Amino acid sequence: MKFFLDTANVEQIKRAVKAGVVDGVTTNPTLIAKEGRSQHALIKEIAALVKGPVSVEGNGTTCDELVKEAEVYSKWAPNIVVKIPMTEEGMKAVRVLEKKGIRTNVTLVFSPSQALIAAKAGASFVSPFIGRLDDNSMDGMGLVRDMMQIYKNYGFNTQVIVASIRHPLHVVEAARAGAHIATIPADVLAKMWNHPLTDAGIKKFREDFAKVEGKYL
Ligand code: E4P
């Protein structure tokens, strides 16, 4: 399973890259706005830090607008993937862009029927927003399981990026479902490293080491 970082914060990305756990990055206009910098400069910096795909989103709505934006973004770096909203116009844009060799990530996917249409359009990636479904008393992980089953039934190459992740169990459940990728906020990733028994174990072993050796390193 690949881990993408769901952030536009350069410091968070640098830290996770150093830890060797980042296979890509996803951004959206809300994450970019949090950083208070222009998308162009920020995305170029992020795309240089990470070898894998970096998803960028514009604000076009028609097929023409979405294609024009994507053509601009795709020139920023070779690893750019363009997010396209799950709409009829969006799916037209996905067909055009994928034919041109520009990879797309269909975003704001909330149902299996949307996921099926996005895969039939030829999207490289599709992002089910599981946290937002859970927030609304719907079964986010059920959507991921349905998608994996449907894509397997028909041999689609589209990769599932489980998005809108709220906690480590979301990542574990996504892995159980066989999702290709989880895009993880930095605070959730930090929680994934930790376990109180690990901390307690390290403390005890260090104390006992020091008892014999007479010192800590
Ligand atoms: C990533 O591609 C999505 O934009 C992101 O995971 C959405 O997360 P949110 O529901 O916490 O805003």
Query: What residues are labeled active site?
Result: 83
Ligand 1 probe mutation, 27, 126, 164, most atoms within 8 A of CB: 164
How buried is 113 (Cβ within 10 angstroms: 0-12 exposed, 13-18 middle, 19+ buried)?
exposed
Residue 137 Cα to ligand 1 midpoint, Å, equals 17
Residue 129 Cα to ligand 1 midpoint, Å, equals 7
Give the residue carrying structure tokens 């104390």: 207
pLDDT of the chain along its 217 residues, tens only? 999 999 999 999 999 999 999 999 999 999 999 999 999 999 999 999 999 999 999 999 999 999 999 999 999 999 999 999 999 999 999 999 999 999 999 999 999 999 999 999 999 999 999 999 999 999 999 999 999 999 999 999 999 999 999 999 999 999 999 999 999 999 999 999 999 999 999 999 999 999 998 887 7
3-state SS, residue 7: coil
- The structural domain count of the chain equals 1
Containing domain of residue 60, as a range?
Answer: 2-216
Nearest CA, atom 8, ligand 1: 164
Residue 217 Cα to ligand 1 midpoint, Å, equals 42
> What is the DSSP annotation of 38-64?
-HHHHHHHHHHH-SS-EEEE----SHH
Atom of ligand 1 nearest to the CA of 161: 2
What pLDDT score does 194 carry? Answer: 92
